[in-house]
Each structure stands twice: as C-alpha cells, then as structure tokens.
Structure 1
C-alpha cells in the first residue's frame, strides 16, 4: 500500500519559513511531530491517521484529509 498522497499538500509552519510541500504520510507525520504550531484534537487525529496508514490499518486518503483539517485549523495550510 502506497503512503503517497494523490495531490501534495502545501503548508507554511512559521512566518519566516518557506512553504513546504507534503507528498506523503511520512512527510505529514514529520510536520505533525516536529513543526506543528500547537497541540489540538485535530492534530492528534491526524497523527493517529498517519500512524494507522503506516501500519497498514487505513488508507492514505484518510490521513491526507485529517492532515489538511489539522493544517487548516492551525492556519498553516497554503494549498490543498
């Protein structure tokens, strides 16, 4: 099972940082773990969804939707 997103997601975590293109579940999980601006329920749901995909328990679109929702809530989503 592929963990690559059908369409990449673009986020900008900090004001001074460049936009980052998220191509797959691994990229999304790294952003959620290391660079996400705050802990929220949507962030936790997105992290759980990424882990489920990596374990083969869910499909990639589930993680992408959860990541987009968390990024939108955190106001870091630049393109979906």
Structure 2
C-alpha cells in the first residue's frame, strides 16, 4: 500500500515554532502534519484528512490527497513548495 500512498512530487511545508522545513512524501506524512502541526481544524484541513484516510483505505488516489493537502497547507500558511 505504501506505493499507492506516495505523492508523485514531494510537498515542502514549514512547521513548528522554529520554522523547520519538512518534506512530505506521502499520505502518511501529510496526515501526521494535518494532525500535529495544523493547529485549528479548518474546512480544508478536514477535507484533506478525510481524503488521506480514503487513500489508506484504497478508496481514493494519492494525487487527490496531495491536492487537498496543498490546499490545507496554503490556507494554514505553512506551504513552502508545491
């Protein structure tokens, strides 16, 4: 299942108080950041989490999750590179 959850291109986000950059390679990385680093639940972060879970269940594909994650990261102002 790991191959199916991998993003075609990594997403770079900047998280934490000291602004460390993280390279998000797959749905698992994205879900962890959505849970831990995007503090408040927004509509876009909720959608992104739902899509990540769907990918892990085999009900959606990783490009959909990547787009949803990028939208949530942009909204949270942590997106550095798409």
TM exceeds 0.5? yes
Identify the residue that residue 31 of structure 2 maps to in structure 1: 29
Note the alpha carbon deviations across 1:38-64, whole angstroms, 9 max, x for none: 210000000000000000000100000
Instruction: Give the corresponding residue for 1:65.
Output: 67
List runs of 5+ in structure 2 lacking aligned partners: none
Tell me which residue corresponds to 1:20: 22
CA distance in structure 2 between the aligned counterparts of 1:70 and 1:38, rounded to whole angstroms: 11
Q: Are the counterparts in 2 of residues 13 and 37 from structure 1 also a CA contact under 8 Å?
A: no
Unaligned runs of 5+ residues in structure 1 are none
Higher mean C-alpha deviation, range 60-69 or range 36-45? 36-45
Residues 1:45 and 2:38 are matched in the alignment? no
Structure 1 stretches of 4+ moved >2 Å: none
State the TM-score, normalizing by the size of structure 1.
Answer: 0.94
CA positional deviation for 1:13: 1.6
Q: Partner of 1:47: helix, strand, or coil?
A: helix
Q: What RMSD over aligned residues (CA atoms) do the two structures have, in Å? A: 1.0
